[in-house]
Amino acid sequence: MFVSIVLLWLCICFVVYQLKPRRPKNFPPGPPVLPVLGNLLQLSLENPLKDFERLRKSYGNVYSLYLGPRPAVIVSGFKAVKEAIITKGADFAGRPQDMLFNFVCKHRGVVLADYGSTWKEHRRFSLMTLRNFGLGKASMEERIHGELQYTIKTLEKSIGKTLSPQVMFHNAASNIICQVLFGTRYEYNDEFIRVFIRCVTENTKLINGPWSMLYDSLPIIRILPLPFIKTFKNYETVAKFAHGFVNEHKTTRVPGEPRDYVDCYLDELDKRGDESSFSEEQLIAHLLDIHGAGTDTTSNTLLVAFLHLLNKPHIQERCQQEIDRVLEGKDKASYEDRHDMPYMQAVIHESQRIANTVPLSVFHCTTKDTELMGYSIPKGTMIIENLTSVLNEEGQWKFPHEFNPENFLNEQGEFVKPETFMPFSAGPRVCLGEGLARMELFHILVTLLRKFKFIWPEDAGEPDFTPVFGLTMTTRPYRMKVQLRSTQ
């Protein structure tokens, strides 16, 4: 009996030992790994950012973790991140293909598609089409100013009162990108904009949340009816809306005379035929990708900007003085006016830095066997670029851990953008909508600060700057008081 128990125990130990993941030769170091679970117990599933920083102090800027049985390399600090996504950008430009959101969007779209000919064709098409429909041009400025009139009306109704800006900024950002994609805007009480924004914001929280991490790390639980199921339902809901827009365009468009992104894509489908990588299913995925990315990141950055401007009124006042001086005698701002507004530019960029909207970027993977900072990284290894570590890196910023526009101003008060500023990531996978986001942030902040004064409500207590973690970071809900400026 005793011998049987010993043999059974030895067998169990052997099986456990075989199940324990082993780091390949010259692979980045990391903490000890448990069988099946990997390093999951060493991470907060709600928000792993502090854990990543803690492990970075122990193992360096390039270290490895096992998310269940899957190895992942966490890349921190500007030097290592730059080598991975810029210097060796093509080697690290892949996307893991067996994660929650890949299954949700059926491996389609421009954000999560793997690095290959289909992705390259669609990215090239999207960049060209967005430019043709005004990205960086006066026509896009007109769209933004047009939408801002509705935001101004919302604020004017709240003069002397308090309001929560969350929905207002999401609506504005959504409508600006809707005009590019679908050629129309929607009233803020329209079912589409309400449901679409709800589904998108819920999914951005779920995608990097605890249930998503468990889904990605432990495939065995994927068949269970756990909360990650909601991401599939939300995606199906917004996909139905997008299908409706596409079907409507198919009946109203004039081939060769595109009105928006949908028409351009349908024209491309006509030219390429059925044998290409272009399809209606890909169009739906691209519409949802571009809309989601173009709405959530911009609105979250605006929420961070106003939260800090409310709590640092001297910064708000200095912005307004610069705006008044530069725009004196003008109806509205032009994007070119930014060159005469160094302080305003510094505030916008500091808002993006502090917002840290996509803290872990979108996960990459290696496209070939490669090296990083002297370590060997096999093909197909998941790469997590810790942008948080770059945007607040000690020694790279004057004030790395506080909101201070001086981070973007030199001794002469001129605007300077450090190389470490990469809120949109960088390299081959840099955000498609970077140019649009910059233009939106400039026009929205300048226009609203020129007309209104924003005040932290007396009865609101102390502001909470702790962000809510997800695929995108956002502020906790807050309210603000609005007054018309006496100079207007």
- What is the DSSP secondary-structure string of 240-271? HHHHHHHHHHHHH--TT---SHHHHHHHHHHH
d(CA 358, CA 336): 27
Q: Is residue 8 scored above 80 in pLDDT?
A: no
Q: Is residue 393 scored above 90 in pLDDT?
A: yes
Q: What is the pLDDT of residue 10?
A: 40
Token representation of residue 53: 């920083």
Mean of pLDDT values over 433-460 = 93
Q: Is residue 190 scored above 90 in pLDDT?
A: no
List phi, psi (to 5°) of 204.
Answer: -65, -30
For 37, counting Cβ atoms within 10 Å of its Cβ (0-12 exposed, 13-18 middle, 19+ buried), the class is middle
Q: What is the pLDDT of residue 62?
A: 98
Q: Who wins on pLDDT, 318 or 432?
A: 318
Span between the terminal Cα atoms of the chain, in Å: 92
Strands 70-75 and 382-385, by their bridges, are parallel
Per-chain mean pLDDT for the chain: 89
For 353, counting Cβ atoms within 10 Å of its Cβ (0-12 exposed, 13-18 middle, 19+ buried), the class is buried
Please give the share of the chain, as a percent, with pLDDT higher than 70: 94
Which pLDDT tens digit goes with each residue over 259-271? 999 999 999 999 9
Q: Is residue 17 scored above 70 in pLDDT?
A: no
- Positive or negative torsion for Cα 222, 225, 230, 235: positive
Q: Is residue 315 scored above 70 in pLDDT?
A: yes
| Domains in the chain, CATH or no CATH each | 2-484 (1.10.630.10)
Q: Who wins on pLDDT, 400 or 206?
A: 400
Lowest average pLDDT, out of 187-201, 278-292, 333-347, goes to 187-201
198: region left, alpha or beta (phi > 0 left; psi from -120 to 50 alpha): alpha
Q: Is residue 177 scored above 70 in pLDDT?
A: yes
Count the Cβ atoms, other than its own, within 10 Å of residue 214: 20
The model's pTM is 0.90
Count the Cβ atoms, other than its own, within 10 Å of residue 10: 10
- The answer to whether residues 386 and 458 touch, using CB atoms and an 8 Å cutoff, is no
Q: What angle do CA 109, 111, 114 make, to 5 degrees?
A: 80
Token representation of residue 411: 């001794």
Mean of pLDDT values over 174-201 = 86
d(CA 68, CA 215): 10
Q: Who wins on pLDDT, 401 or 488?
A: 401
d(CA 142, CA 179): 11
Residues near 450 by beta carbon (within 8 Å), at least 6 away in sequence: 320, 323, 324, 327, 333, 485, 488
Lowest average pLDDT, out of 180-194, 225-239, 345-359, goes to 180-194
Q: What is the pLDDT of residue 487?
A: 54
Split at pLDDT 50, 70, 90, the class of 137 is low
Cα 75 to chain centroid distance, Å, stands at 18
Q: What is the pLDDT of residue 134?
A: 64
Residues near 330 by beta carbon (within 8 Å), at least 6 away in sequence: 337
- What is the DSSP secondary-structure string of 400-445? TTS--GGGGB-TTS-B---TT--TT--GGG--TTHHHHHHHHHHHH
Q: What is the pLDDT of residue 14?
A: 36
Q: What is the pLDDT of residue 296?
A: 83
- Report the amino acid identity of residue 241: F
Please give the share of the chain, as a percent, with pLDDT higher than 90: 63
Q: Is residue 2 scored above 50 in pLDDT?
A: no
Lowest average pLDDT, out of 1-5, 84-88, 150-154, 426-430, goes to 1-5
Q: Is residue 376 scored above 90 in pLDDT?
A: yes
Split at pLDDT 50, 70, 90, the class of 102 is confident
Q: Who wins on pLDDT, 194 or 450?
A: 450
Which pLDDT tens digit goes with each residue over 210-248? 778 888 888 888 888 888 899 999 999 999 999 999 999
Q: Is residue 193 scored above 70 in pLDDT?
A: yes
Q: What is the pLDDT of residue 136?
A: 56
